[in-house]
Amino acid sequence: MKFKSLILIIIAGIAFSCKPAHHDIRISQFLIDSIKSQEIPDSRVEVLHIKASYIGNDLLLKGRTTKPEAVSKLEARLKQQQVSFIDSIVRLPDPALGDKTWALVNLTVANLRTEPAHAAEMATQALIGTPLKVLQKEKTWYLVQTPDQYIAWIDSVEIEPLTAAEIKIWKESDRLIYLKDNGVILNSTERNARPVSDMGMGGIVTVDKNGKRKGSSIPIELPDGRKGFMNSKDCRNFKEW
């Protein structure tokens, strides 16, 4: 009889000790969902991915966000509820990126995905020469933000990472925008010239200052450093355009 009573006491103690953890998880998730609905009306242009879980005896908040003020609200409300936690939330752009927080698209048309996988749903597309704000890297994928604020994943082979200083130089350089439906960048002005890259309407390249113009052929440089020639009839000065 005494043994049974001891077992019941132990079980009750375990159940009681689990209640605070379960309670804290529920409160945390409720607050995360609530703040996300208030602060992130469009998840395509802002990120707030946070999960609450227990690591040993510690409540861990893990995830990423582009809106640190939303995290501040979450933490303030958790403290009001007397919920202790460990903050492991990455504020984007991720400090692990170093100074490479910008990039240029280096494919004619790049596909941006909702998740870091080629099989994931396409979120949007970006043309060659489009500047992207880099937020985070996961294996061979980058989380980026386009000029129209969309946030999605892009494969590393489709971009050329740059520093803020390098993107500033690019923005101040002589740029050309391609206006034909499609075409080809050639490696020389000779008849036997070979293709360097294809081009599509809206693509942006810079003028190669070290190259020599020949007739209607303008020396250009692609975002990844490849050089070639573009017909002046097919493009226009970007600033003028």
Tell me: the pLDDT tens digits for 119-162?
999 999 999 999 999 999 999 999 999 999 999 999 999 999 99
Collect all residues with Cβ–Cβ distance below 8 Å to 230 and sequence separation of at least 6: 176, 178, 183, 185, 199, 205, 217, 218, 220
Among 167, 150, 120, CA closest to 47: 150
For 69, counting Cβ atoms within 10 Å of its Cβ (0-12 exposed, 13-18 middle, 19+ buried), the class is exposed
Which of 241, 239, 222 has the alpha carbon at shortest distance from 107? Answer: 222
Q: Rounded to whole angstroms, how far apart are CA atoms 34 and 25?
A: 14
Q: Is the pLDDT of residue 100 over 90?
A: yes
pLDDT band with cut points at 50, 70 and 90 for residue 16? very low
Write out pLDDT tens, residues 30-83.
Answer: 999 999 999 999 999 999 999 999 988 889 999 999 999 999 999 999 999 999
Report yes or no: 30 and 83 within 8 Å, Cβ to Cβ: no
For residue 145, the Cα-to-chain-centroid distance in whole angstroms is 5
Give pLDDT tens digits for 203-234.
Answer: 999 999 999 999 999 999 999 999 999 999 99
> What span, in angstroms and rounded, lies between the C-alpha atoms of 130 and 160?
10
Range of weakest confidence among 15-19, 189-193, 205-209: 15-19
Half-sphere exposure of 206 (CA within 13 A, CB side): 20
- What pTM was estimated for this model as a whole? 0.87
